[in-house]
């Protein structure tokens, strides 16, 4: 197979080949762990590798020789309408164990399918009907048509925006249902979104720079864009493969509509109840029902010291009170004007403050006290303590 090794082709080949390797490693990891997010990231990386392939193969001599030239012309290597949905579904599968591809969300792949049909129609007319170049008589690869590049970038921007919206709704939901929400707000998700944002910004940056450095508008000049793009892709591949966190709380969230979030029963449990989680902190006077459950919640949290459980969840509190999570969520939001995570952390902080008053910090470490009171990390403890008291733990102790 023809490939001319040179400065431009070889550097892109390194990133391309490593990306392909990581794509197959993630596929293997997905098969071994049965975690769907690995499959989605595998496909995402593979499609992004195809995105840089025309420039790599072009500098490798493919555009100057047949039949390689026709392969580049009639094969849609740049699937711009596919990158956005893959990124969006990867995030959903990473955060939500109940996510699966169905007929409803398959509609996101329609634009990509239409572009594949468009590419196929060009091949059929030129090669099978006309037997000569018609659509490609100008010698320009249709993957680089301005209309496709612009609409493709807009598509990726759209999915980037709704991915952020999905993540923000997920964050609010976790704060309502578990007392360890900070550990579920995966750092990797933020890193991945920032990396994807860089991918979106790169074309804009190079377009602006092209106004000042004309050589960037040439074929060789555009190579620098694909080189930087490949660096970001390589980083995503490495970090994504290393990510080992798997979500365990199934839920259902509407990204486009203002619907309540649904907390689904764990598929490994016998319950089939779907719980409607309330996000609103209403300022009106609590009803008799809210007051009733407020007293019962406060009593069981304090007397049984449930806050000491670092993995305490809304459903566990509901089970102990023999009611459902929707009532507990509504009561905490409206009765205490807090989400569940902040409410439990409030009691943990009160327990820590009591330990400080009793001089426990002279006998053990601050982190030891924090763990005894239910916190599962130093960062979460410091953040919650500062939020509750306006002081760091050491500052608070110095003022006792």
Judge whether 341 and 181 are in contact, CB under 8 Å.
yes
Q: What is the mean pLDDT of residues 342-371?
A: 92
Instruction: Give start-end residues of each CATH 1.20.1070 domain in the chain.
Output: 7-247
Phi then psi for residue 275, to 5 deg, are -105, 130
User: Angle of helix 219-242 relative to helix 7-33, nearest 10 degrees?
Assistant: 20
Tell me the pLDDT tens digit for each residue of 121-135.
999 988 888 888 787
Label residue 212 by pLDDT band (50, 70, 90): confident
| Other beta carbons within 10 Å of 307 | 22
At residue 229, the pLDDT reads 95
Which CATH number among 1.10.10.60, 1.20.1420.20, 3.50.50.60, 2.160.10.10 corresponds to the domain 278-398?
Answer: 1.10.10.60
Q: For the chain, give every residue range classified as CATH 1.10.10.60.
A: 278-398
Tokens of 107: 């509609």
- Give residue 127's pLDDT: 84
Q: Tokens 């794509």 correspond to what residue?
A: 23
* Rounded Cα distance, 115 and 363, in Å: 68
- Which range has highest mean pLDDT (59-68, 195-204, 354-363)? 195-204
Is the dihedral angle over the CA atoms 218, 219, 222, 227 positive or is it negative? negative
pLDDT (0 to 100) of residue 265:
61
- 276 vs 315: CA distance, rounded Å: 12
Q: What is the pLDDT of residues 238-257, one digit of tens each?
A: 999 998 777 888 888 888 87
Q: What mean pLDDT is predicted for residues 91-107?
A: 91
Residue 356 CB-density burial (10 A; 0-12 exposed, 13-18 middle, 19+ buried):
middle
Model confidence band, residue 271 (pLDDT cutoffs 50, 70, 90): very low
**In the prediction, which pLDDT does 290 show?**
86
Contact in structure between 307 and 347 (CB atoms under 8 Å)? yes
Q: What fold, for 7-247? A: Rhopdopsin 7-helix transmembrane proteins (1.20.1070)
């Amino acid at each position: 197979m023809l490939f001319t090794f040179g400065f431009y082709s070889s550097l892109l080949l390194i990133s391309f080949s490593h990306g392909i390797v990581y794509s197959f490693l993630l596929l293997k990891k997905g098969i071994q762990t049965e975690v769907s997010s690995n499959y989605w990231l595998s496909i995402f990386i593979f499609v992004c590798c195809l995105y840089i392939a025309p420039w790599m193969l072009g500098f490798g001599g493919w555009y100057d020789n047949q039949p390689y030239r026709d392969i580049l012309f009639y094969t849609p290597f740049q699937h711009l309408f596919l990158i956005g949905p893959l990124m969006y579904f990867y995030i959903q599968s990473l955060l939500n164990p109940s996510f699966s591809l169905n007929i409803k969300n398959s509609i996101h792949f329609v634009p990509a399918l239409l572009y594949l049909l468009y590419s196929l129609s060009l091949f059929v007319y030129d090669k099978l009907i006309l037997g000569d170049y018609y659509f490609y008589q100008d010698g320009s690869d249709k993957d680089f048509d301005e209309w496709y590049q612009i609409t493709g970038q807009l598509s990726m921007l759209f999915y980037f925006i709704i991915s952020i919206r999905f993540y923000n709704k997920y964050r609010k939901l976790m704060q309502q249902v578990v007392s360890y929400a900070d550990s579920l707000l995966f750092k990797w998700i933020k890193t991945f979104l920032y990396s994807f944002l860089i991918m979106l910004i790169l074309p804009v940056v190079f377009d602006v720079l092209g106004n000042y450095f004309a050589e960037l508008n040439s074929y060789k000049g555009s190579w620098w864009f694909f080189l930087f793009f490949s660096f970001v892709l390589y980083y995503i591949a490495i970090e994504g493969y290393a990510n080992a966190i798997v979500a365990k709380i199934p839920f259902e969230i509407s990204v486009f509509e203002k619907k309540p979030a649904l907390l689904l029963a764990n598929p490994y449990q016998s319950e089939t109840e779907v719980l409607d989680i309330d996000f609103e902190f209403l300022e009106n006077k609590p009803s008799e029902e809210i007051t009733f459950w407020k007293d019962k919640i406060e009593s069981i949290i304090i007397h049984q010291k449930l806050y000491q459980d670092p993995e305490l969840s809304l459903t566990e509190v509901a089970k102990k009170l023999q009611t459902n999570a929707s009532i507990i969520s509504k009561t905490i939001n409206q009765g205490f004007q807090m989400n569940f995570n902040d409410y439990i952390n409030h009691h943990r902080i009160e327990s820590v403050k009591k330990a400080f008053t009793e001089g426990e910090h002279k006998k053990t470490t601050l982190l030891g006290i924090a763990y005894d009171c239910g916190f599962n990390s130093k960062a979460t403890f410091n953040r919650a303590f500062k939020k509750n008291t306006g002081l760091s733990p050491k500052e608070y102790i110095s003022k006792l």
